[in-house]
Amino acid sequence: METSATQFTNQRQLTRRLGFGVLFGALVLLVVALLGDLRQVSRQVLDFRWSLFPLVLALTLFNYTLRFIKWHYYLRLIGARSITYGESARLFIAGFPLAVTPGKLGEALKGVWLNQMSGVAVALGVSVVVAERVSDGLAVSLLALSGVVAYPQYWPAFATILTILFGVVTISQMRPLALWLLGIGERLSLIKRFIHSFRLFYEGSAALFRPGALLLAVGLGVISWLGEGLGFYVILLGLGLPANWHTLSIAVFTLSFSIVIGAASTLPAGLGASEASIAAMLAVLLGLTADVSAAATLLIRLATLWFGVALGLIVWAFSREMLGFNAAR
């Protein structure tokens, strides 16, 4: 696992992967705008009440803050106690741009950075990244649950994804099964040399998915992602939708379910899948026109995904030595 993760330490490779994700993201935004008629979508964006946008960004920062608390808690659970809050925060934010790398595989680089900063094994760091994704997936699934009950056409996709998430957690807690599988791996020449890393990854995952830790992580996730759901509600208000419980509930459900769909797609940051689900659900559930749905989709992705990418790149610019960029040639 260390071998596969360290391939991302080359700055040129990382830049190329990130560039691909950014270009793909720009293409997705353009397609969304074109589907809603570029001229009409532009008018909706210009007419948006931009005085509300700082509040949307503040709610996104609220989400990031609670997720950072979970991240730092996870680092303590795997034994990375030497890392300071400041270093941990910089590492956490620096991971945001990695989400737009193909398949999100670049996020494994957080394990490499953590190893360079604290000496914790890369495999243990990667287990934190996986635990983040699983706990976030469970959190947004809980937020989307009421909407799925109200709109049963979304139930098959929801049930499939939820089953996979719970399956990952369950297997991590079945220690005899995991040790048996690792034992088999030790006898297979193709993966024998990676078994030590796999074992460390399993031990980290088992600790992070224990009931107490999982409940805390999912609880923080529900509150943090609700913050982004409220941000989406504010965007809909800025586009002229009425301020009522129906608009709020659809905003939270739509954003939560789109995150689930985006994660399941394995596309970089869910690009394309998330945008398509947001626009389609707004049209179906709120009866919005294509231009309004497209404008809302563009604004929420700018205020969440691309805002986070921008913050991460700022950290990259001022933390090159911490992230090992100075050593990469």
Q: pLDDT per residue over 9-57, tens digit each?
A: 456 777 777 888 888 888 988 888 888 788 999 999 999 999 999 999 9
pLDDT, average across residues 277-283: 93
The pLDDT value recorded for residue 324 is 64
Residue 168 one-letter amino acid? V
Least confident of 33-47, 201-215, 239-253, 283-297: 201-215
Give the confidence band of 296 by pLDDT, cuts at 50, 70, 90. very high
- List Cα–Cα distances, 72 to 78, 83, 308, in angstroms: 10, 9, 18
- List Cα–Cα distances, 35 to 23, 238, 295, in angstroms: 18, 21, 11
Residue 155 one-letter amino acid? W
The whole-angstrom separation of Cα 35 and Cα 233 is 22
The pLDDT value recorded for residue 253 is 93
pLDDT, average across residues 263-274: 80
Q: Is the pLDDT of residue 282 over 90?
A: yes
- Got the DSSP string for 269-310? GGTTHHHHHHHHHHHHHH---HHHHHHHHHHHHHHTHHHHHH
pLDDT, average across residues 189-194: 68
Q: Is the pLDDT of residue 257 over 60?
A: yes
The pLDDT value recorded for residue 5 is 43
The pLDDT value recorded for residue 3 is 45
Q: Is the pLDDT of residue 6 over 50?
A: no
pLDDT, average across residues 159-169: 79
Q: Which residue is associated with the tokens 């360079």?
A: 116
The pLDDT value recorded for residue 325 is 59
**CA geometry: angle 292, 295, 299, nearest 5 deg:** 140
Q: Tell me the H-state helices in the chain.
A: 2-6, 11-35, 38-47, 53-77, 85-94, 109-118, 122-150, 155-173, 175-186, 195-208, 211-238, 245-265, 273-286, 290-303, 305-318
Residue 73 one-letter amino acid? Y
Q: Is the pLDDT of residue 83 over 60?
A: yes
**CA geometry: angle 264, 280, 236, nearest 5 deg:** 105
Please tell me whether the overall predicted TM-score, pTM, comes out greater than 0.85 for this model.
yes
The pLDDT value recorded for residue 198 is 73
Per-residue tokens: 242: 């009425």
Q: Is the pLDDT of residue 8 over 70?
A: no
Q: Is the pLDDT of residue 183 over 90?
A: no
Q: pLDDT per residue over 88-143, tens digit each?
A: 999 999 999 988 877 555 677 888 888 888 888 888 888 999 899 889 989 998 89
The pLDDT value recorded for residue 9 is 46
- List Cα–Cα distances, 217 to 73, 128, 222, 244, 290, in angstroms: 9, 12, 9, 30, 37
Percent of the chain with pLDDT over 70: 88
Mean pLDDT over each residue of the chain, to the nearest integer: 85
Percent of the chain with pLDDT over 90: 43
Q: Is the pLDDT of residue 290 over 90?
A: yes
